[in-house]
């Protein structure tokens, strides 16, 4: 029994040492490979000094670009993680608020009599009711009229404290509002034609002010046109929601969700 235990202990010790030894071996092999490559490069540079100088001159800007890109890459990864976490929190909070606000069948039904919930107390689940009057053509409005129309949609679908603040010195915010679930909504309106898309620079300028300056809890960019692919990538990384022309029309007609709805899948 003692010999068996001793043998098992030695095997356990060997297993614990094998991992670090393999890692040290791999590190040593990598260092040897790097040294051999450096020696070969030094021999080649001695035989071809002009080519070596040209190669070094080409390598300097490449290394500089890579060095400058590293912090930006880390920043985008952090922004992407923060945006996804914020979106998850928004979905969970909206779902919880909907569960608490919708009355149960027992609360609505009193024996054989059903009490109808007043329209003013209806829960805003992100889908709107189609208005009796036709919606305006957003592309025919002037910039001020377009901002006012977006503000009217926000107010129609349950937002409070709706305010149009667009103009000189607005720092990217055109409409401010409080969503039905209590979040502060900051909207930027881009009335662009079909050939003029909202680009990443537009999103970057808005992203630089919507959170820090305006204190947004939900940042939205609404356009009558479309977004470029880089703009959508930046919006997704920073947690900005993008409403293009088709989504805006669906929102206005009542067939699509409002920007603060948990039913809206984040494109940004």
Predicted confidence at residue 135, as pLDDT, reads: 62
Angle at 220 between CA 214 and CA 221, to 5 degrees: 110
Give the angle 221-255-147 at the CA atoms, nearest 5°.
Answer: 35
Tell me, yes or no, whether 170 lies in a domain. yes
Q: Is residue 248 located within the same domain as residue 131?
A: yes
Same domain assignment for residues 145 and 58: no
The whole-angstrom distance between residue 149's C-alpha and the CA centroid of its chain comes to 25
* pLDDT of res. 111: 40
Task: Tell me, yes or no, whether 130 and 205 share the same domain.
Answer: yes
Residue 227 to residues 67, 119, 230, Cα–Cα distance (Å) = 30, 36, 8
Confidence of residue 246 (pLDDT cuts 50, 70, 90): very high
Which pLDDT belongs to residue 159?
95
Task: Say whether both 32 and 135 belong to one domain.
Answer: no
Residue 138: CATH number of its domain:
3.40.1350.10
Residue 95 placed within a domain: no
Picking from 136, 134, 97, 130, the residue whose alpha carbon sits closest to that of residue 261 is 97
Please name which of 202, 268, 203 lies closest in space to residue 241, comparing C-alpha atoms. Answer: 268
Question: What SS3 state is found at 30?
Answer: helix
Are 113 and 229 contained in the same domain?
Answer: yes
Residues 194 and 71 in one domain: no
The pLDDT of residue 37 is: 80
In a shared domain, residues 109 and 55: no
pLDDT band at residue 223, thresholds of 50, 70 and 90?
Answer: very high
Q: What is the CA radius of gyration of the chain?
A: 30
Query: Does 161 have pLDDT greater than 70?
Result: yes
7 compared with 107, residue with greater pLDDT: 7
Q: Please tell me whether residues 233 and 117 are part of one structural domain.
A: yes
What is residue 113's predicted lDDT score, i.e. its pLDDT? 39
* Same domain assignment for residues 127 and 240: yes
Q: Is residue 96 part of a domain?
A: no
Q: What's the structural domain count of the chain? A: 2
Residue 3 within any structural domain of the chain:
no
User: Is 150 part of a structural domain of the chain?
Assistant: yes
Q: Does residue 41 lie within any of the structural domains? A: yes
The model's pLDDT over 116-153, given as tens digits with 9 standing for 90+, comes to: 434 444 444 555 544 445 567 888 899 899 999 999 99
- Within-domain flag for 89: no
Residues 157 and 240 in one domain: yes
Q: Does residue 219 lie within any of the structural domains?
A: yes
Per-residue pLDDT tens over the stretch 163-197 = 998 777 778 899 999 999 999 999 999 998 878 89
- Asked if 123 and 213 sit in the same domain, the reply is yes
- For 15-41, the pLDDT digits (tens) are 556 666 777 777 888 788 878 887 887
- Look up the domain containing 27 and give its range: 18-76
Together in a domain, 23 and 122: no
Tens digits of per-residue pLDDT, 36-79? 887 887 887 788 788 777 877 877 777 666 666 566 656 666 66
């Amino acid at each position: 029994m003692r010999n068996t235990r001793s043998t098992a202990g030695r095997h356990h010790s060997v297993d614990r040492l094998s991992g670090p030894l393999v890692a040290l071996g791999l590190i040593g092999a990598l260092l040897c490979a790097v040294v051999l490559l450096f020696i070969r490069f030094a021999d080649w540079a001695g035989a071809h000094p002009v080519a070596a100088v040209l190669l070094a001159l080409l390598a300097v800007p490449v290394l500089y670009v890579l060095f400058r890109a590293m912090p930006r890459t880390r920043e985008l990864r952090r922004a992407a993680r923060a945006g996804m976490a914020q979106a998850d929190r928004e979905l969970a909070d909206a779902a919880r608020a909907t569960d608490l606000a919708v009355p149960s069948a027992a609360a609505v039904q009193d024996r054989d009599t059903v009490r109808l919930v007043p329209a003013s107390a209806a829960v805003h689940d992100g889908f709107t009711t189609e208005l009796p009057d036709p919606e305006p053509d957003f592309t025919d409005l002037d910039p001020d009229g377009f901002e006012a129309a977006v503000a009217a949609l926000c107010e129609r679908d349950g937002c409070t404290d709706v305010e149009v603040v667009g103009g000189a010195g607005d720092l990217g915010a055109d409409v401010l509002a409080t969503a039905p679930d209590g979040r502060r909504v900051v909207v930027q309106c881009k009335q662009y034609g079909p050939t003029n898309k909202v680009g990443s620079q537009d999103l970057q300028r808005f992203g630089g002010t919507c959170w820090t300056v305006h204190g947004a809890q939900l940042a939205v960019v609404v356009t009558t046109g479309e977004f470029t692919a880089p703009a959508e990538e930046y919006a997704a990384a920073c947690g900005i929601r993008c409403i293009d022309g088709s989504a805006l029309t669906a929102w206005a007609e009542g067939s699509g969700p409002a920007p603060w709805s948990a039913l809206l899948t984040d494109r940004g």
